[in-house]
Structure 1
Amino acid sequence: MPESLTKLTYQTFQQSKNYFGLAHKILSSRLRNLVYPTLEQKTKPIPNELLPKLQQRLNQLLETDWQDTQKGVYPESLLFDNPWDDFFRYYPLIWLDFPQMWERVKQQSYQDFSPEIDIDAYPSYYVQNFHHQSNGYLSDLSANLYDLQVEILFGGAADAMRRRILAPLKQGVKAFELVTPRQARILDVACGTGRTLKLIRAALPQASLFGTDLSPAYLRKANELLSQIAGELPQLLQANAEELPYVDDYFHAVTSVFLFHELPATVRQTVIEQCFRVTKPGGVFIICDSIQLSDSPELGYMMDFFPETFHEPYYKHYTTDNLLERLQKVGFENIETQVHFMSKYFIAHKPA
């Protein structure tokens, strides 16, 4: 397929996902307002003046995504990778789960878990119905719906934002001149369903990949996803990021995607300390998370209503938290920040 046609196909594919996400939000909001009219006042539409800015940010993200394939950072096939089986299997379940979510919002019940789920083994900050979803991150249903829910939330741009870690990740690993591709070790902290590890595998097919997460349900989903990919299976462990079960100076690179806004401030610092500890001297640590007020003040309106709309109890503090200072405090240096669409990136290096 000619390059220009491939690019047009990709842009059309992404815009169609964006329109689908928008249609989903409109329909679900109307249904919610019909069934639970008292909840209508708690949500606010995006101001019209913000819409062109969001579209511009999305277009810039898609252009960067495309350019990285042309530079050989990852194959073009990733641009069209979509979990269609999961979509057709689980999208109806999102609608079936809405009444429980809306009732939870109405009752302001944010730590509502089924009796069969043992919550005692988890830190209190984790036992939350993040995004108002049933059983938080501790059920197989939650794990099955998560990627689809995030794709809808970001209008189909979630993977494109995740892929922004791949260029600095490859550059960071390449800094170890005497390390062969097969010897490189990369850890994804809070790997969730394994989507980020799948992207890393496509960019670095020979590297040894590792992932940790607190949720056994999400690790089961990650194992299911990653088992379908050719090559060495990533090593997955159930572990708290506050106590990573690895020796010092073990990984050439460490990544963390969409974790820090769901952590209390003190825990963010502890996790950064752990990531510094397990990163090799000369290695790189890359954070992908939400935008912050310091880099996107024009989107402050959205950051204000996001934590209540989606029950993100630690998000508001995150938007003003100085992660650069936290990274420097533990010893990271040469820290670069980037912003793509609705995400911010910290690319930090451990002194050699």
Structure 2
Amino acid sequence: MSVASSLRRYAASRFLNVHASPKSFRNRSAVAIRLQHVAPPPLNSSNGKAACTPALKPGISDDTYFPPNENILFWRHFVTPQRPTETAARLRRHVDHVFYTSRKNPSSILYWLHAFARLAFFNNVFSSLGHTFLAMRLYDAPLSTRLLAFPINHADELLHVFKQDYDNIRTGTYNMPWDVSLTHRQSSPFFILRQILALAAEAPRVLSKTVEKESSNSNWLHSKLFPHYYSQTFHHQTDGWLSSSSADVYEVSTESLFRGTQDAMQRTVLKAISLFVQSYHRNQSKLTMLDLGAGTGRFSTFVRDNWPHAHYILADLSPFYLQKARENMSYWQRKRASSHLGPGSVRFMQANAEDLPLEKGSVDILYAVYLFHELPPHARQKVVLEAARILRPGGLFIIADSVQFGDRLHRDSALGNFERLNEPWFSSFIELDLGKLVCKDGMFTPYVKEVASMTKMLSFRRLGV
């Protein structure tokens, strides 16, 4: 019997028995999913393609600034199961956890329905459009093994991301995602069809350029506002960041790459903001938050849904992505107007992250999500200096981006392969000591770190009086 068939039978039995024998259920070992205790590989092992020497692995160097906690250690030593029996055992624990939380808190049912729907949808999009072949080039393993094992054994990791996200919701760290509503447009068959058709038109071009290892640094639009590196057609997207069609397909393409977990991984940023606001800024109407490199603005709708009375600035170089961000924020306002609109505000700013048209000390919280790996080294330093300039003393600076060498020891050998997606500065990013970059001039002090699968979040507080 296959792993998938076994799990379907098991899930059905849990559904039939969960109310009949609550005592036996409570006694099961899977009331909560526990850490997978796996011995870490020797730190003197280069692990294949890992170009960074162990002593310099930034994920390990982070420990100097952020004492490793359970979350950091869990993801550092996480290993994808390889044997079908191990895969089935882990997924059964996830099934038990979902039934337990749903029984204890019925409101969680909507979250888990949403999570499983995302996994099913984006996994099918990923496979049907040929992204599976692309994924094979992003991981080191025999191709035949990956083709057979990728969909099911990686479900354990994906479900851990959702469990971590739900635990933050359950403990009140941040709100239930506003898009879990069945009335959200992403539940509409017509919206889904438009997304699939847009991605279907774009995917063959991206895949062919990736396989042929093409590199393009030309774009149709030129402006003195754009730094030279912005002319890259990042990710082999048609027009790079400089078209409405690129903005329309961005969300579905990146979510497909991460099998529907991107939103949940990005919400690690909300944890840092929540801790900061609870500790220092309970009056959110006096808060100004800046989304630097806002892109489509989708993530900022989750931030604003948690702190609707704050004031927001969404900054990006692309006018096309800012237009998409405006649409996403307007949609949030229409859906949440009855309970969430207040004295807060939002404005959109076309600006270079290295030189922002903002006053010194005018921002309380600055978050940059998936920005730093797109920047060349000299630009990263300028962005840090600009963040120090515009943040008020005590303000919060958050960087959420790809994990680096040392954050996922058993993925180190594969990280460098993301550069094939026309990410020209990705290899320098995964070797970069972010803590040293941000703190070296004495302008910032470390705050909190969180990891979720392929995303890490580092936060820092601005020093000064």
TM-score by length of 2: 0.67
2:427 pairs with 1:316: yes
| Contact persistence 2:288–2:365 (CA under 8 A) | yes
Structure 2 equivalent of residue 280 of structure 1: 392
Q: Distance in 2 between matches of 1:247 and 1:159?
A: 31
Written as runs of structure 1 = structure 2, the 5 A alignment for 1:75-154 is 75-78=175-178, 80=180, 84=186, 86-105=191-210, 106=212, 108-114=214-220, 117-118=221-222, 121-154=225-258
Q: Distance in 2 between matches of 1:21 and 1:155?
A: 5
Written as runs of structure 1 = structure 2, the 5 A alignment for 1:259-338 is 259-308=371-420, 310-330=421-441, 331-338=443-450
Identity %: 26
- Residue 248 of structure 1 and its aligned partner are, at CA, apart by 1.2
Residue identity in the other structure for 2:199: I
Q: Deviations over 1:67-96 (max 9, x none)?
A: 222233333243616651653323201111
Q: Greater CA deviation, 206-215 or 69-78?
A: 69-78
- Residue 139 of structure 1 and its aligned partner are, at CA, apart by 0.3
User: Using a 3 Å threshold, how does the CA distance of structure 1 residues 132 and 171 change in structure 2: closer, same or farther?
Assistant: same
- Residue 5 of structure 1 and its aligned partner are, at CA, apart by 4.0
What secondary structure, in the 3-state scheme, does the structure 1 residue paired with 2:202 have? Answer: helix
Q: Distance in 1 between matches of 2:138 and 2:262?
A: 22
Residue identity in the other structure for 1:60: H
What secondary structure, in the 3-state scheme, does the structure 2 residue paired with 1:145 have? Answer: helix
User: Using a 3 Å threshold, how does the CA distance of structure 1 residues 287 and 88 change in structure 2: closer, same or farther?
Assistant: same
- Residue 341 of structure 1 and its aligned partner are, at CA, apart by 1.2
Residue identity in the other structure for 1:152: S
What secondary structure, in the 3-state scheme, does the structure 1 residue paired with 2:314 have? Answer: strand
- Residue 314 of structure 1 and its aligned partner are, at CA, apart by 0.8
Structure 2 equivalent of residue 210 of structure 1: 313
The structure with the largest alpha-carbon Rg is 2
Q: Distance in 2 between matches of 1:41 and 1:57?
A: 15
Q: Distance in 2 between matches of 1:145 and 1:4?
A: 36
Structure 1 equivalent of residue 329 of structure 2: 226
Identify which of structures 1 and 2 has the higher relative contact order when contacts are C-alpha pairs closer than 8 Å and 6+ apart.
2
Residue identity in the other structure for 1:113: N
| Contact persistence 1:46–1:302 (CA under 8 A) | yes
Written as runs of structure 1 = structure 2, the 5 A alignment for 1:5-24 is 5-24=106-125
User: Using a 3 Å threshold, how does the CA distance of structure 1 residues 337 and 76 change in structure 2: closer, same or farther?
Assistant: closer
- Residue 146 of structure 1 and its aligned partner are, at CA, apart by 0.8
| Contact persistence 1:87–1:148 (CA under 8 A) | no
| Contact persistence 1:130–1:312 (CA under 8 A) | yes
Q: Deviations over 1:49-84 (max 9, x none)?
A: 996885444333212211222233333243616651
Q: Distance in 2 between matches of 1:41 and 1:326?
A: 31
Unaligned runs of 5+ in 1: 34-39
Q: Greater CA deviation, 328-337 or 312-321?
A: 328-337
Q: Distance in 1 between matches of 2:434 and 2:269?
A: 17
- Residue 283 of structure 1 and its aligned partner are, at CA, apart by 1.2
- Residue 108 of structure 1 and its aligned partner are, at CA, apart by 1.4
What secondary structure, in the 3-state scheme, does the structure 2 residue paired with 1:75 have? Answer: coil
Residue identity in the other structure for 2:119: N
Q: Distance in 1 between matches of 2:318 and 2:203?
A: 22
| Contact persistence 2:310–2:345 (CA under 8 A) | no
Residue identity in the other structure for 1:90: Q
- Residue 148 of structure 1 and its aligned partner are, at CA, apart by 1.1
Unaligned runs of 5+ in 2: 1-101
- Residue 293 of structure 1 and its aligned partner are, at CA, apart by 0.7
| Contact persistence 1:113–1:134 (CA under 8 A) | no
Q: Distance in 1 between matches of 2:111 and 2:277?
A: 28
- Residue 155 of structure 1 and its aligned partner are, at CA, apart by 0.8
2:133 pairs with 1:29: no
User: Using a 3 Å threshold, how does the CA distance of structure 1 residues 235 and 2 change in structure 2: closer, same or farther?
Assistant: farther
User: Using a 3 Å threshold, how does the CA distance of structure 1 residues 41 and 137 change in structure 2: closer, same or farther?
Assistant: closer
**How well do the aligned residues superpose, as a CA RMSD in angstroms?**
2.8
Residue identity in the other structure for 2:428: H
Structure 1 equivalent of residue 451 of structure 2: 339
| Contact persistence 2:268–2:450 (CA under 8 A) | no
Structure 1 segments of 4+ aligned residues over 6 angstroms from their partners: none
